[in-house]
Amino acid sequence: MTTLRITVGDQTVTAELNDTPTAQDLARQLPLTITLDDFNNVEKVGKLPQPLTMDGVPAGADPEINDIGYYQPSNGLVFYYGDVGYYNGIVRIGRLAPADMQLIQRQTGSFTITIEEG
């Protein structure tokens, strides 16, 4: 597993990527700075600069709260803090601890995060 450092403002949290080809593809793009926005009061999503591979992963997923996912149709990196249900094009790629997801969830409007390996 790959450990990530995610910086929001002056606070840093850690996350774990899983061992899927999609997660490994994200790790190869690090470091990244992306802008996130809230979507439907259940997730924060930001567009990645390059698409991630969908090779060798299921066609869709039902992410759990505190998961990090990739949504292929919009090339979005997604932090799930609410229940969204199953959608085609979602790949679960990692996970945050509940307290760390709360930092992401509490942000309002558009905000920037930096993601590094570590």
Secondary structure element (H or E) that encloses residue 80, with its range: strand 76-80
- For the stretch 1-53, pLDDT in tens is 899 999 999 999 999 999 999 999 999 999 999 999 999 999 999 999 999 99
- For the stretch 62-89, pLDDT in tens is 999 999 999 999 999 999 999 999 999 9
- CATH number of the domain bearing residue 49: 2.40.100.20
Q: How many domains does the chain fold into?
A: 1
Q: What pLDDT, on a 0 to 100 scale, did the predictor assign at position 1? A: 80
Domain range holding 40?
2-117
Give the C-alpha separation, 84 to 64, whole Å. 8
Could you count the other beta carbons within 10 Å of the beta carbon of residue 57?
19
- For the stretch 93-107, pLDDT in tens is 999 999 999 999 999
